[in-house]
């Protein structure tokens, strides 16, 4: 019989707040950081866990650094046939030119995205999320003017779909890229209260933090530590108020 430790984790990513309750076989302290006990996980379960963590990490970075009014851009080389190494060199030089011009006007160049090749091994292109202040500079710096497309970021609540799109097949033909100057999410972990955890086990809802609305709630089952709970909230804005149409989910994934 193993002793279980209960933890509450809060992750603040721009307007999004995540609250997690979970149990661990390890006690969290400065010398021994608690981690999920994932021994004996099947390859399928581990692959799913890795994919979800990657999507969550990308979503948090987007929310910490970009917002409605910024852009998801595609820069392609429609008439060029390049190897991966050659296109990577083109992208690196492209980034250097943008960075130099951005520094001259006192702005930072932040990006999240990937390089990808077409299905036939041709038409290499770069997809990146960029701030609106970089759009004009990036347009001037890309050599194929007919290979540029901008899609505005829409504030659907949490950019979850965009994060999934960016992370999809990153081990295949996509090559994920992020700038080093991205703002990271704020993570706080404290010991959880047994009473709060028992309420969740009984199916009671977690109180919604003031100024937020619930996006989704999930329960996950670990073969060793049992159930863990994940709640996602978004900040209320001046134009958005809770209505009867707001999601009141009790979604459960196992």
Q: What is residue 184's predicted lDDT score, i.e. its pLDDT?
A: 97
pLDDT at residue 171 tops 80: no
**Alpha carbon of residue 111 to chain centroid:** 13
Q: What angle do CA 68, 70, 72 make, to 5 degrees?
A: 110
Q: What is residue 111's predicted lDDT score, i.e. its pLDDT?
A: 98
pLDDT at residue 210 tops 50: yes
What are the residues whose beta carbons fall under 8 Å from the beta carbon of 114, sequence distance 6 or more?
Answer: 126, 127, 128, 166, 170, 174, 175, 176, 177
Q: List the 112-116 sheet strands across, edge first.
A: 148-152, 71-76, 125-130, 112-116, 175-178
Separation between Cα atoms, residue 149 and residue 42, nearest integer Å: 41
How many angstroms separate the Cα of 157 from the Cα of each of 8, 61, 62, 132, 240? 23, 14, 12, 19, 11
Q: How many CB atoms lie within 10 A of CB 241?
A: 9
Mean pLDDT, the chain, whole residue set: 85
Which pLDDT band holds residue 172 (cuts at 50, 70, 90)? low
Segment among 22-26, 99-103, 192-196 with least mean pLDDT? 22-26
> Which alpha helices (H) appear in 106-230, and where do they start and end?
132-141, 160-167, 194-201
The reported pTM is: 0.84
Mean pLDDT of 127-154: 95
């509450």: which residue's tokens?
A: 8
| Range among 151-155, 156-160, 249-253 with highest mean pLDDT value | 151-155
- The pLDDT tens digits for 31-79 are 555 454 444 456 787 788 888 889 999 999 999 999 989 999 999 998 7
Partner residues linked to 6 by β-bridges: 23
Q: What is residue 76's predicted lDDT score, i.e. its pLDDT?
A: 94
Q: What is residue 168's predicted lDDT score, i.e. its pLDDT?
A: 86
pLDDT at residue 245 tops 50: no
pLDDT at residue 253 tops 50: no
The three-class DSSP label of residue 207 is coil
Mean pLDDT of 139-162: 89
pLDDT at residue 254 tops 60: no
């Amino acid at each position: 019989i193993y002793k279980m430790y209960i933890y509450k984790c809060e992750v603040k990513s721009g307007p999004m707040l995540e609250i997690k309750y979970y149990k661990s076989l390890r006690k969290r302290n400065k010398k021994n950081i608690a981690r999920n006990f994932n021994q004996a996980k099947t390859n399928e379960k581990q692959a799913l866990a890795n994919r979800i963590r990657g999507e969550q990490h990308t979503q948090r970075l987007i929310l910490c650094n970009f917002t409605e009014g910024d852009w998801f851009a595609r820069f392609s080389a429609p008439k060029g046939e390049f190897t991966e190494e050659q296109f990577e060199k083109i992208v690196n030089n492209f980034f250097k030119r943008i960075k130099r011009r951005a520094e001259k006007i006192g702005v930072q160049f932040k990006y999240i995205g990937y390089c990808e090749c077409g299905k036939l091994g041709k038409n290499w292109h770069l997809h990146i999320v960029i701030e609106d202040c970089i759009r004009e500079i990036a347009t001037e710096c890309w050599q194929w003017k007919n290979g540029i497309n901008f899609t505005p970021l829409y504030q659907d609540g949490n950019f979850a779909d965009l994060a999934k799109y960016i992370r999809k097949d990153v081990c295949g033909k996509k090559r994920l890229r992020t700038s080093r100057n991205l703002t990271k999410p704020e993570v706080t972990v404290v010991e959880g209260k047994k009473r709060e955890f028992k309420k969740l086990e009984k199916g009671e809802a977690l109180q919604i933090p003031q100024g937020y609305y619930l996006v989704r709630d999930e329960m996950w089952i670990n073969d060793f530590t049992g159930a863990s709970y994940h709640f996602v909230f978004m900040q209320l804005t001046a134009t958005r108020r809770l209505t009867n149409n707001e999601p009141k989910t009790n979604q459960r994934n196992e």
